[in-house]
Structure 1
Amino acid sequence: MNIIAIVLHIGAAKGIHMHLLYPCDPFNKMKPDEAYEEEFSTAQHAGFTWFPFSYEDFELGEFKPRPKPAFAGEILYRGWMLTSTRYAQLQGAIESLGATVAVSAERYRQCHYLPEWYERCKDVTPKTIVLLKDDDFAAALSTTGWSAYFVKDFVKSLTTSRGSVARSISEVREVVDLIERYRGQLEGGVCIRELENLLPETEERYFVFRGKAFARDGVVPELVKDVARRIDSPFFSIDVLLNKEGTARLIELGDGQVSDRKKWSAEAFIEMLSASLTN
């Protein structure tokens, strides 16, 4: 019995039938990329089977999980952020080999793009106006009464030292231009959010897996449980901050497959997946 067959057998014995798909090391296609090495090692020890694939090859139109003959079952991707179009291509590539995805392209988009989840959660998150890059920002924002703005595309904010906060309409345009310059493109469009009085040191990331919300310390706030009930996706992350009044505010949703663990240890993260799959 080869090593892949052995691992498959161990995973089945532990009741784990979902397999993990990781991007591989560019120089060794049988190893995970170093960014996922700790998580991969923990997952393997917990009984998960895994398949590495070359992200670089995938971008060139080739999807070759290794070992290809063993590729089957339900696949949960853990890797770099993908556009919704690229993720749909990944789903198609996975299904073309006879496997299935744990998260469909539709569900991926629902949590990955802010406008897709905003209407379901608008009462617990900062007010947001969605625009196209060439829209008239001044006209769109003229009646908001907001004193400052947080500017991002559908997925990410400006992560340079400049940051995404704008104090005027002209600064909104400046941030949009910088996002496009540094990231190469605006993904989806522009989201302009009211800048609330939030306490950045209180930020926490939670995960929802198969309908159940999880916290790294085991304490799940009511807001997170509420949001978990509103979103119909198998695996997503929820980012929460407190405002200066002590009220929890939803800041971001993300597809769980492409969400960093942040403060979560690899052990806590894999335990969450394992417990949900074996119960």
Structure 2
Amino acid sequence: MSDVRPAPSTQLLFPCDPLNRRVADEAYAEEFDAARAAGFACSLFSFEDFEAGQFKTQPALCGGVKVLYRGWMLTPDSYARLHDATAEHGCAMATSPTQYRHCHYLPEWYALCKEFTPETVIVARDADFAAAVDGRNWPAYFVKDYVKSLTTQRGSVAATPQEIADVVGLIETYRGAVEGGVCIRKFEQLQADSEERYFVLHGQAHGRDGSAPELVHEIARRIESPFFSVDVVASSRGELRLIELGDGQVSDRKQWPVGRFMAMLDGTQG
């Protein structure tokens, strides 16, 4: 009987170190090493060159494989360029640009999971924010763009409708731009340190301890994407609440041990 493992159907793509293209970027080095040890075919590419319009992998991508990216967050337009670049090498991204956008932008998934997540008003960057929430009488307002909130010490919570514009301005200052538009979310009392990240791979929910709550399984049934993350947190009453979805390719493992994460991904192998 042969001991040779079948050729993989999935190839992982990581960003390389900006100063040494033969090694993975420091932020992904542990995962890159673990992926190779688990038998995955892995390639590196220069994220900086890609942003400048050039795409070259080392080693070259294997024609006909599905490519699973593990790296820095991309805008939907940049992800579409990555999708097109891999197609030129005879490969296909495991996640389509439409699926990437579906999990990356809050307005794309909000209606499908509305009852599990804080009530949200979605407006343009130049909207009258106070008018948009007029009459809602929320205890406070959690403000973010389509992707991220303000992570400085100031935080992303506005105590009054008039403060919403201040938070949006700071998001623009610290992140360079507001991506997509503005999401104003009803502030809910949540239990500190109760946030947990789960992943959904090909419709199956996974947790770092080997299990996932029913809420995550239900979300897995509603979202059309092969690989995405689900962040949940306990409310002050002990109810699990959905805080965020994200494309799995650009989602940190957070508390997941790298071995457990690779064991989950190993289900992509043919």
- Post-superposition Cα deviations, 1:186-243, rounded to whole Å, max 9, x if no partner, equal 0000000000011131100000001100000112101000001000100000000000
Matched, 1:202 2:203: no
CA distance in 1, matches of 2:173, 2:133: 23
Matched, 1:263 2:227: no
1:1-279 equivalence runs, <5 A: 13=5, 16-68=8-60, 70=62, 72-274=64-266, 276-278=267-269
| Residue 277 (structure 1) shift | 2.6
Q: 1:265 to 1:178 in 2, by over 3 A?
A: same
TM-score, with length taken from structure 2: 0.96
Q: 1:11 to 1:69 in 2, by over 3 A?
A: farther
CA distance in 1, matches of 2:200, 2:164: 33
| Residue 16 (structure 1) shift | 3.4
Corresponding letter in the other structure for 2:137: G
Alignment partner, residue 3 of structure 1: none
3-state DSSP of counterpart to 1:200: coil
CA distance in 1, matches of 2:233, 2:22: 39
- Post-superposition Cα deviations, 1:99-140, rounded to whole Å, max 9, x if no partner, equal 111000000000000000000000110000001111111111
| Residue 26 (structure 1) shift | 0.7
Is the contact between residue 11 and residue 17 of structure 1 (CA under 8 Å) also seen in structure 2?
no
CA distance in 1, matches of 2:152, 2:244: 19
CA distance in 2, matches of 1:69, 1:134: 43
CA distance in 2, matches of 1:69, 1:49: 9
After TM superposition, what 4+ stretches of structure 1 lie above 2 angstroms from structure 2? 67-72
Structure 2 residue runs of 5 or longer lacking an equivalent are none
CA distance in 1, matches of 2:127, 2:254: 34
Corresponding letter in the other structure for 2:252: D
Corresponding letter in the other structure for 2:114: K
| Residue 66 (structure 1) shift | 1.4
RMSD over aligned CA atoms reads: 1.7
| Residue 270 (structure 1) shift | 0.6
CA distance in 2, matches of 1:70, 1:110: 27
| Residue 15 (structure 1) shift | 6.2
Q: 1:69 to 1:147 in 2, by over 3 A?
A: closer
Q: 1:11 to 1:167 in 2, by over 3 A?
A: farther
CA distance in 1, matches of 2:57, 2:157: 41
Structure 1 residue runs of 5 or longer lacking an equivalent are 1-9
CA distance in 2, matches of 1:132, 1:278: 42
Q: Percent identity?
A: 54
